[in-house]
Amino acid sequence: MASTKKQSQDKALYPELSSVSTGMAGRCPRCGQGKLFKSMLKPVNRCAVCGLDMSFAEEGDGPAVFAILIMGFVIAGLALLFENAFHPPVWLHVVIWVPVTFALSVWCLRAMKGIMIAAQYKTDAQEGRLADRD
């Protein structure tokens, strides 16, 4: 109940932001101004602009699953198109697709983490507790 009351206070002070746009931009889900990440993939503990405590952010394996599915589809599709168009040797596939896969995967994982954290904030999602039953 306390978090629901806190969220209604947040909505009175801050406009509701899109989870996708703030998450992909790596911005705070409440104010949309502060940075969400202190390093490439590590979320901050607290927003430097509005002071939102990010301890609620527990994204688990969700972003990795989405990143694997999306990047698998994109990279495999691009590699197949490249193979059909140019018939390059295998070593050229390795030289091209290994760094592209690494770079796009890190970018996609960061974006998915941001979206998941923003969605957690927006929906007030958290682990189930015995007190939630009934």
Question: What is the rounded distance in angstroms from the CA atom of residue 6 to the CA atom of residue 108?
Answer: 31
Q: Name every residue whose Cβ is closer than 8 Å to that of residue 4 and which is 6 or more positions away in sequence.
A: 124
CB of 78 to Zn ion, least distance (A): 36
CB of 112 to Zn ion, least distance (A): 20
Q: Are 58 and 120 in contact (CB under 8 A)?
A: yes
Question: What is the rounded distance in angstroms from the CA atom of residue 31 to the CA atom of residue 96?
Answer: 39
Site for Zn ion, residues 36 to 65, rule: CB under 5 A: 47, 49-50, 52
The yes or no reply on residue 28 touching Zn ion (CB under 5 A) is yes
Question: What is the rounded distance in angstroms from the CA atom of residue 134 to the CA atom of residue 50?
Answer: 35
Question: What is the rounded distance in angstroms from the CA atom of residue 26 to the CA atom of residue 17?
Answer: 13
Beta-carbon neighbour count of residue 61 at 10 Å?
8
Nearer to Zn ion, 47 or 111 (CB): 47
Nearer to Zn ion, 22 or 105 (CB): 22
Figure out which of the listed residues 31, 108, 115, 118 binds Zn ion, where binding follows CB under 5 A. 31
Stretch that binds Zn ion, among 5-13, 25-33, 37-45, 104-112 (CB under 5 A): 25-33
CB of 123 to Zn ion, least distance (A): 17
CB of 48 to Zn ion, least distance (A): 8
Site for Zn ion, residues 56 to 115, rule: CB under 5 A: none
Half-sphere exposure of residue 45: CA atoms within 13 angstroms, side-chain side: 0
Write out the residues near Zn ion by the rule CB under 5 A: 28, 30-31, 34, 47, 49-50, 52
